[in-house]
Chains A and B, each alone.
Chain A
Amino acid sequence: DQQVKQNSPSLSVQEGRISILNCDYTNSMFDYFLWYKKYPAEGPTFLISISSIKDKNEDGRFTVFLNKSAKHLSLHIVPSQPGDSAVYFCALSKTGANNLFFGTGTRLTVIP
């Protein structure tokens, strides 16, 4: 299943700088997009979402951008904090369904 990809398995960022995590998808039926964060030995925790009618959604330090024509989704975290160090998953759902298709995840390390 290659419908959802996160091409960077890992990312290291200095504390205070911006973290940019990317997600690409192939199926134009996806219309709702979410980002989850996962710590070891815990389940995914919801961060932020965006529907296909928007191109940006902001919540505090977290902003999600959606480029439907490029089928590309990104999560910006600014400023990055050491507590943000975790694995980040994009998760997408299709029209008429509510199960989520997950990306492979990007491990973010924020260096103090």
Chain B
Amino acid sequence: EPEVTQTPSHQVTQMGQEVILRCVPISNHLYFYWYRQILGQKVEFLVSFYNNEISEKSEIFDDQFSVERPDGSNFTLKIRSTKLEDSAMYFCASRPRTGERDEQFFGPGTRLTVL
């Protein structure tokens, strides 16, 4: 069964460093998402991406964040200058179709630890 994959599973970085989290969505899906979950808190929406551009973003997704689909398979989240409060699980998700309220399929997550 197709699944969303994410790499790395765990990323440790120093405050102020740039990180890139990688995702491979399910191949025929059209919508792509990033969510994060800070330890003990809710899963929070960051950004959605469709047709090679951001379709929605939350207040969390500020200028430090960017997303890219550099080729036909990868979907990346970049944090330019990490802060301690960026430590969280980051989940990528994808959805197959437009115009319908399909469920989103989530990857296993990347645990980001900022020291």
Chain B residue total in the interface (Cβ 8 A): 24
The interface residues of chain B lying within 8 Å CB-to-CB of A34 are 103
Please measure, in the bound complex, the distance between the C-alpha atom of A100 and the C-alpha atom of B31, giving whole angstroms.
13
The interface residues of chain B lying within 8 Å CB-to-CB of A4 are 42
The reply to whether B56 and A89 contact each other, CB–CB distance below 8 Å, is no
Q: Which of B45, B56, B108 has the most CB of A within 10 A?
A: B45
Tell which of B45, B56, B95, B107 touches A43, judged by Cβ atoms closer than 8 Å. Answer: B107
The interface residues of chain B lying within 8 Å CB-to-CB of A69 are none
Tell which of B41, B48, B106, B108 touches A99, judged by Cβ atoms closer than 8 Å. Answer: B48
Please measure, in the bound complex, the distance between the C-alpha atom of A12 and the C-alpha atom of B35, giving whole angstroms.
28
B109 in contact (CB, < 8 A): yes
0 or 1 for each of A30-50: is its CB under 8 Å from B? (1 = yes): 001010100001111110010
Tell which of A1, A51, A100 touches B104, judged by Cβ atoms closer than 8 Å. Answer: A100
The interface residues of chain A lying within 8 Å CB-to-CB of B4 are 43
Please measure, in the bound complex, the distance between the C-alpha atom of A49 and the C-alpha atom of B107, giving whole angstroms.
19
The interface residues of chain B lying within 8 Å CB-to-CB of A88 are none
A46-B103, A49-B103, A99-B58 known; A104 and B42 CB under 8 Å?
yes
The 6 A-B residue pairs with the shortest CB-CB distance in the complex, in nearest-first order: A43-B106, A46-B103, A102-B43, A99-B45, A32-B101, A44-B106
B residues contacting A by CB (< 8 A) are 4, 6, 31, 33, 35, 41-45, 48, 56, 58, 91, 93, 95, 101, 103-109
Provide 15 A-B residue pairs closer than 8 Å at the C-beta atoms, listed in order of the A residue: A4-B42, A34-B103, A42-B108, A43-B6, A43-B93, A51-B101, A91-B43, A93-B101, A97-B56, A98-B95, A100-B45, A100-B104, A101-B45, A103-B42, A104-B41
